[in-house]
C-alpha cells in the first residue's frame, strides 16, 4: 500500500463517516458540516460521546486503531440511546455500518450527560481489558518490548533463558507495516498455532526518529531477513512469505555497519583492514578438538568451572578424541590444565575450502565460516559497480530488500559479464538504505550473516538494554534455576554486569510503605 493508497483509503473512510453520522452531529447540537472535516470531525465526535479529545491520536496508530474503532462505534450508538446487547452486537458485526440505520431510520435523541460507567460488571471488565490492551500495545510497539534469548549464539554476553527488555526508541520505533494483526503477539497466535496477521494491507516503511544509529559492536534485535518458517523453531515444514515486521526476531552483534569493509581470516574478524575490537563483555567462543587421556569428563564441572555450556561430544572413541562445541579463550587456558586433556586444537575451516551454505550461496566463492570476504557493507546513497563478481553479493538487496519488499518489481540477471535489471543493462547501483553485518559471539554455533547475508535497516527492531529475569533451562530446581546475579542487569556497558535488583526492591518497599501511610492518614 503506497502513500497514495493510504490517502485514498482515509478519504473513503471520511466519506463513509460523513454520510453515516451527519444527522447525529445535528442531534447533538453540532453543525452537519463538522462531520465532513477530517481530524476535526473526530475531535467533535469524541466530545459528542463524552470521551477525551486525545483519543484522536489513538485512531491513527496501526494495530491500536483496530481496537479503538469498535469502541467508538459502540460508544456512538450508546450516546443516542442504543444501549442493548443487540445494538452492541449489530454495531460490531456490521463493522460500524449499523450507525447508518441509527442515522437515517431511527428517532435518535442525544443523551448529553450519559454515564460512562458500564452498567454491568462484565461491561466494566471488558472496558478495563480493552484499554489495558491499548496501553500495552503502544508500549510494546513504540517504547519497549519483552524478548527471550532462545539460542546460545551470544553466549557469555546473553544466555539462553535471559528475559530482556528491548528498546524501540534508541534506533527509532518502526511504525507497524502489517496493518491488521492480533495485538502483542508476533507471527503466530499462541495455542491456536495460526497466523496472527493478514498479509495485506501493508503500510509503507516508516520509522520514528531515534537518538542513535546502530553502532559497530551493538547487540541488535532484528527481523531475520530470509525467514519463511511458520514460526520460530517450527518443524511442520510449512513456509510463508512473511511481511518484514512479522519475520522471526533474531538477536546478534553488529560486527559491521553501513560503509564498512569486512573480512574474516582464520575466524578473526577484520573491519576496514583492522582487527575488530570487541567490548570487554563480549566473549567470543570457538570449537576445539580435544585429545583426552582416557579419564573422562564430569559434565557438571565442565559447565561450572570451564563455562562449557554448549556441551562436549565424541569424535572418535577409539582415539579418545572429543569436540568442545564452544569455549572462550580465557576458559580454554584453564581447560588445558584439566587432568584428562592432553592437547587442544581450534577447529578452523581452511582458506579456500568452499562451503555452499555460506553467503552469497552461489557455490562459486571459496568462502567458509572462518575465512570469508572481503565484502563491502552497503550504505544508503553509496554507489557500487555491478559486474560478474559483485552480482551475487547484491542481487538479493536489489531484488528483495529494495525491490519486492518495497512494492517495486526488480529482476536482476547476469548474461555473460553484463548485469541486467528488468532487461536493461545495469553497470552500477545506488543503495536506498543502510545495511549491517550481524554475527554471534559463539562463532561456530551461530546462524548469522555469514549464512544469509546483509540485514537491511528496515529489518532493525531495537536494542536490548535490560535483563529483568534469567532462568537456567538445565537447572534441576526453581531456586537453582534463577540466575540471581543476572537479574536487573544492563546489557551494555563496561566491566562485569551489576545487578540493580536490591535497589529495585528497596524502592518498591518505600513506595508500598508510602502508599500505606497516606491511606492510613486519610
Which grid coordinates belong to 401? 530488500
Give the separation between CA 81 and CA 47, rounded to whole angstroms: 16
Local confidence band at 362 (pLDDT 50, 70, 90 cut-offs): confident
Closest CA to 144 of 476, 464, 417: 464
3-state class (DSSP) for residue 249: strand
Give the separation between CA 325 and CA 153, rounded to whole angstroms: 12
Q: Helical H runs in 309-427?
A: 329-335, 391-396
pLDDT, tens digit (0-9, with 9 covering 90-100), for 463-519: 999 999 999 887 777 778 898 889 999 998 888 888 888 888 899 899 888 888 887
pLDDT, tens digit (0-9, with 9 covering 90-100), for 133-180: 888 989 999 999 999 988 889 988 899 899 999 999 999 999 999 988
Give the separation between CA 169 and CA 209, rounded to whole angstroms: 8
3-state class (DSSP) for residue 167: strand
Asked if 23 is an active-site residue, the reply is no
Give me the catalytic one of 242, 252, 283, 463.
Answer: 252
Which grid coordinates belong to 140? 510494546
Which grid coordinates belong to 268? 578473526
Closest CA to 461 of 177, 255, 181, 271: 177
Would you tell me how many other CB atoms lie within 10 Å of the CB of residue 109? 9
Which grid coordinates belong to 135? 496501553
86 vs 74, 77, 104, CA distance in Å? 11, 11, 18
pLDDT, tens digit (0-9, with 9 covering 90-100), for 169-210: 999 999 999 988 988 888 888 878 788 888 888 888 999 999
pLDDT value, residue 499 = 87
Closest CA to 437 of 382, 370, 494, 379: 379
Asked if 449 is an active-site residue, the reply is no
pLDDT value, residue 121 = 66
| Beta pairing partners, 383 | 430
- The stretch 394-403 carries a mean pLDDT of 95
Domains along the chain with CATH numbers: 3-115 (no CATH), 285-346 (3.30.70), 474-521 (no CATH)
Local confidence band at 450 (pLDDT 50, 70, 90 cut-offs): very high
Give backbone dihedrals phi and psi of 460, rounded to 5 degrees, phi first.
Answer: -70, 125
pLDDT value, residue 519 = 78
What is the residue-averaged pLDDT of the chain? 89
Give the separation between CA 424 and CA 413, rounded to whole angstroms: 10
Give the separation between CA 370 and CA 263, rounded to whole angstroms: 10
Give the separation between CA 187 and CA 193, rounded to whole angstroms: 9
Q: Is the pLDDT of residue 107 over 70?
A: yes
Q: What is the 3-state secondary structure (H, E, C) of 56-82?
A: HHHCCCCCHHHHHHHHHHHHHHHHCCC
Burial of 7 from C-beta contacts in 10 A (0-12 / 13-18 / 19+): exposed
Placement of cell 494495530 in the chain:
63
User: What interhelical angle do 98-105 and 64-79 show, nearest 10?
Assistant: 20
pLDDT, tens digit (0-9, with 9 covering 90-100), for 231-260: 666 666 677 788 999 999 999 999 999 999
pLDDT, tens digit (0-9, with 9 covering 90-100), for 12-30: 899 999 999 999 999 999 9
Give me the catalytic one of 27, 79, 153, 248.
Answer: 153
pLDDT, tens digit (0-9, with 9 covering 90-100), for 317-359: 989 999 999 999 999 999 999 999 999 999 999 999 999 999 9
Local confidence band at 123 (pLDDT 50, 70, 90 cut-offs): low
pLDDT value, residue 118 = 62
Amino acid at each position: 500500500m503506497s502513500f497514495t493508497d493510504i490517502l485514498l483509503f482515509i478519504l473513503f473512510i471520511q466519506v463513509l463517516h460523513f454520510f453515516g453520522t451527519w444527522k447525529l452531529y445535528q442531534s447533538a447540537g453540532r453543525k452537519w458540516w463538522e462531520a465532513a472535516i477530517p481530524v476535526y470531525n473526530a475531535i467533535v465526535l469524541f466530545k459528542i460521546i463524552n470521551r477525551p479529545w486525545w483519543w484522536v491520536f489513538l485512531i491513527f496508530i496501526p494495530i491500536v486503531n483496530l481496537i479503538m474503532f469498535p469502541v467508538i462505534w459502540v460508544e456512538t450508538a450508546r450516546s443516542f440511546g442504543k444501549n442493548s446487547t443487540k445494538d452492541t452486537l449489530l454495531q460490531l458485526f456490521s463493522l460500524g455500518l449499523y450507525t447508518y440505520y441509527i442515522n437515517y431510520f431511527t428517532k435518535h435523541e442525544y443523551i448529553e450527560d450519559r454515564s460512562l460507567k458500564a452498567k454491568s460488571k462484565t461491561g466494566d471488565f471488558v472496558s478495563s481489558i480493552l484499554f489495558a490492551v491499548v496501553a500495552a500495545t503502544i508500549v510494546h510497539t513504540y517504547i519497549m518490548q519483552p524478548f527471550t534469548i532462545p539460542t546460545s549464539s551470544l553466549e557469555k554476553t546473553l544466555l539462553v533463558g535471559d528475559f530482556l527488555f528491548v528498546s524501540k526508541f534508541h534506533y527509532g520505533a518502526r511504525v507497524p507495516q502489517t496493518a491488521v494483526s492480533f495485538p502483542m503477539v508476533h507471527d503466530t497466535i499462541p495455542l491456536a498455532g495460526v497466523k496472527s496477521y493478514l498479509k495485506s494491507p501493508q503500510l509503507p516503511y516508516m520509522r520514528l526518529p531515534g537518538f542513535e544509529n546502530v553502532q559497530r559492536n551493538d547487540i541488535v534485535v532484528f527481523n531475520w531477513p530470509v525467514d519463511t518458517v511458520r514460526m520460530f523453531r517450527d518443524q511442520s515444514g510449512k513456509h510463508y512469505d512473511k511481511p518484514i515486521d512479522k519475520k522471526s526476531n533474531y538477536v546478534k552483534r553488529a560486527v559491521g555497519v553501513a560503509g564498512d569493509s569486512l573480512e574474516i581470516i582464520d575466524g578473526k574478524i577484520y573491519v576496514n583492514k583492522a582487527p575488530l575490537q570487541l567490548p570487554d563483555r563480549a566473549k567470543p567462543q570457538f570449537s576445539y578438538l580435544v585429545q583426552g587421556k582416557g579419564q573422562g569428563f564430569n559434565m557438571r564441572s565442565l559447565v561450572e568451572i570451564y563455562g562449557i555450556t554448549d556441551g562436549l561430544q565424541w569424535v572418535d572413541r577409539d582415539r579418545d578424541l572429543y569436540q568442545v562445541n564452544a569455549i572462550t579463550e580465557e576458559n580454554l587456558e584453564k581447560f588445558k590444565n584439566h587432568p584428562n586433556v592432553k592437547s587442544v586444537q581450534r577447529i578452523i575451516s581452511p582458506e579456500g575450502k568452499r562451503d555452499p551454505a555460506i553467503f552469497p550461496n552461489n557455490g562459486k566463492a571459496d568462502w567458509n565460516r572462518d575465512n570469508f570476504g572481503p565484502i563491502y557493507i552497503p550504505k544508503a546513497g553509496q554507489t557500487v559497480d555491478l559486474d560478474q563478481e559483485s552480482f551475487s553479493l547484491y542481487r538479493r538487496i536489489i531484488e528483495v530488500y529494495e525491490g519486492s519488499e518495497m512494492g517495486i518489481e526488480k529482476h536482476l540477471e547476469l548474461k555473460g559479464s553484463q548485469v541486467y535489471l528488468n532487461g536493461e543493462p545495469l553497470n552500477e547501483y545506488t543503495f536506498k538504505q543502510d545495511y549491517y553485518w550481524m554475527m554471534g559471539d559463539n562463532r561456530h554455533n551461530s546462524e548469522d550473516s555469514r549464512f544469509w547475508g546483509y540485514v537491511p535497516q528496515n529489518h532493525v527492531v531495537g536494542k536490548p538494554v535490560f535483563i529483568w529475569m534469567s532462568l537456567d533451562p538445565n537447572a534441576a530446581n526453581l531456586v537453582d534455576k534463577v540466575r540471581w546475579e543476572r537479574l536487573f542487569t544492563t546489557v551494555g556497558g563496561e566491566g562485569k554486569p551489576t545487578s540493580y535488583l536490591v535497589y529495585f526492591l528497596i524502592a518498591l518497599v518505600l513506595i508500598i510503605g508510602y502508599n500505606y501511610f497516606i491511606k492510613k492518614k486519610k
